[in-house]
Chain A
């Protein structure tokens, strides 16, 4: 696949992370380089050795108009890498609609390797113009947990989907042959080859410029949600989590169903909820209804895609955090550190 970005004379914003299995069986970093405005941080003594942990940051806490970040990540066989952020990725106002702020993430995950990317949401400010492309090239037997979410902007400043454009695309490819150590000058992590097969391409295009005055404005289109997000799960390490989302979705109460039981009967039934999971579910459903969190889950070509939206950012964060915490396998496989941004 050719790069979706035009060639840039500046090489700024490039970064590389290579995660590998260290001799003592821990996951660690073999390489980590970055250039302004990208900034990567890792702990010298990681609190948890189940996965290597890198914080994706930017100088100044955000990307200003026209910034470009291009990060390549390689996860070697058997290694695990967690990526987090420290606060929203802010996208500052752009000087004009043609000045596009761009982030490109290319990832290669080798067999037995796993990547957990649970960042804070992207927060596009009013008048920002942003495009992000994230390409995940997965070997057979590789695993991925990817969260991509975006907020309405700075609510305190009255921003409510007030940017010019936000376009985000996530692609999951099944790598042809062993994914690791691709050589060749054109190669590199996440560069899709001819034998690779696209599994999922999830793409969101939010543009304030309307094609026709009859079309609702972007704010109206968003229907009052403050955050909208997508979680993509693939591979054996997150299989249990993927099944959990599908099962919880299947267990949602039917919309428009009538409850013929008397109120006291219904209450008694609810209190009888036996297992901890059932109690948790009842409480979660109550929160979902109170906060009007809408979500769905679908099995798509060997991946599970979960979509959610909420009228309050923190309600959305609590919801996804509660789902991941209750199921528990992210913490088990990657350590609690992987969940820093969703608590």
Chain B
């Protein structure tokens, strides 16, 4: 009870230190006041020598925060830069009178983009976010290892749950181009997990186990989750011939050719891997949609809609932040069965990306 690291004691010590410092500053100021120069550089700004010393060393950020930053990094090799999520096709359709559905009052590329971004966010939230959140919940609620599981540590059940979400996601994307984009990024994320993040998680686990001398009970929750992702990956590798995600027309046309067991779509894998890395559901949803927004904005820069400062201005604006928050709230309770397209014309623009004469993106 009476250990030096009792949190209450620490708090008292911390507050006492702050009080002492504040008193010292007050004394210094009183002593200086008579000798104050007639025109101080700034009345309230203390000289740098007077700055209070930092109170306590900062607590190191959690592993979850660390991974949150990594997942939001545009250098994360997901290949998102290759996809415009229908922006390129939309801009091309807006150019020609025979394919422009709408006659906007002003048709500059910038105003077109301002129309496109909220539509795209609304649509990706409605169609993908339920899968992200369901996969996150799946990982968060699994019971871990139960005593009488025998050989299996529970990871095969978890992997099966993830595979069935992936299968439902595969059935819900009715468009070749969007499927290709989702599968390419999902597989890239799985590779990042396998080649980089998994090792990072394992190191942290070893570190924790060394700090707690008595060996913890056999596989921890984390270990079950890691094993489940391994099983999922094995399902993918054992599944269908490579490239079945995009699919040759001939192979997929065989009416009774069953779809592969797993395809590795981005949304469910993003939810699952974020949960294993310790991100909360809110963080996961936010960083997923922010990642989508960043990809579309960056596509707009490369499509020549605006420059990099305008891009950052769009991203920094309160509008994007509020919009993401609003659509996350809208879809927070949407079950995957009820995920649906809110912008039907977007399906057409994305689907018709294939009929563009020149393309700089894959979607």
Using CB atoms, name the residue of chain A closest to B263: A301
Considering only residues 224-259 of chain A, those with a C-beta below 8 Å from chain B are: 224-225, 228, 230, 234-236, 239, 242-243, 246, 249, 252-258
Selected interface stretch from A57-65, A88-96, A212-220, A322-330? A212-220
How near does chain A come to B161, taking the closest CB pair, in angstroms? 14
- Cα–Cα distance between A224 and B101 once the two chains are bound (Å): 6
Interface size on B, residues (CB 8 A): 61
Given A205-B126, A289-B98, A223:B340 Cβ within 8 A: no
Given A201-B337, A255-B93, A255-B357, A307:B347 Cβ within 8 A: yes
Decide if A302 touches B256 in the complex (CB within 8 Å). Answer: yes
How near does chain B come to A51, taking the closest CB pair, in angstroms? 19
Residues in chain B near residue A305, CB distance under 8 A: 174-175
Residue-by-residue, is B319-360 near A (CB-CB < 8 Å gives 1, otherwise 0)?
100110011011000000111111111011001101111100
Decide if A236 touches B122 in the complex (CB within 8 Å). Answer: no
- Contact partner, A212, options B175, B323, B339, B348, Cβ 8 Å: B323
Given A201-B168, A305-B174, A167:B340 Cβ within 8 A: yes
Considering only residues 302-319 of chain A, those with a C-beta below 8 Å from chain B are: 302, 304-305, 307-309, 311
- Contact partner, A311, options B101, B118, B168, B339, Cβ 8 Å: B101
B290 adjacent to chain A (CB < 8 Å): no
Selected interface stretch from A21-29, A113-121, A262-270, A292-300? A292-300
Using CB atoms, name the residue of chain B closest to A298: B176
Decide if A302 touches B348 in the complex (CB within 8 Å). Answer: no
Among A198, A212, A215, the one with the most B-chain Cβ atoms within 10 Å of its Cβ is: A212
Decide if B340 touches A203 in the complex (CB within 8 Å). Answer: yes
Residues in chain A near residue B89, CB distance under 8 A: 255
- Cα–Cα distance between A302 and B337 once the two chains are bound (Å): 20
B160 adjacent to chain A (CB < 8 Å): no
- Cα–Cα distance between A220 and B114 once the two chains are bound (Å): 13
- Cα–Cα distance between A167 and B249 once the two chains are bound (Å): 31
A204 adjacent to chain B (CB < 8 Å): yes
B100 adjacent to chain A (CB < 8 Å): yes
A40 adjacent to chain B (CB < 8 Å): no
Decide if A197 touches B319 in the complex (CB within 8 Å). Answer: no
Decide if A299 touches B253 in the complex (CB within 8 Å). Answer: yes
Residues in chain B near residue A109, CB distance under 8 A: none
- Contact partner, B101, options A292, A296, A302, Cβ 8 Å: A292
Residue-by-residue, is B230-269 near A (CB-CB < 8 Å gives 1, otherwise 0)?
0000000000000000010100111111110000000000
Residues in chain B near residue A169, CB distance under 8 A: 337-338, 340
Residues in chain B near residue A1, CB distance under 8 A: 337
Given A298-B174, A302-B258, A255:B344 Cβ within 8 A: no
B227 adjacent to chain A (CB < 8 Å): no
How near does chain B come to A191, taking the closest CB pair, in angstroms? 15
Decide if B96 touches A309 in the complex (CB within 8 Å). Answer: no
A6 adjacent to chain B (CB < 8 Å): no
B95 adjacent to chain A (CB < 8 Å): yes
How near does chain B come to A149, taking the closest CB pair, in angstroms? 11
- Cα–Cα distance between A220 and B351 once the two chains are bound (Å): 20
Q: List 24 A-B contacts (CB under 8 A).
A: A141-B256, A199-B259, A201-B168, A201-B337, A202-B172, A204-B344, A211-B326, A211-B327, A212-B322, A222-B345, A223-B102, A224-B101, A224-B103, A225-B101, A255-B356, A292-B98, A296-B352, A300-B175, A301-B252, A301-B259, A302-B252, A305-B175, A307-B174, A309-B344
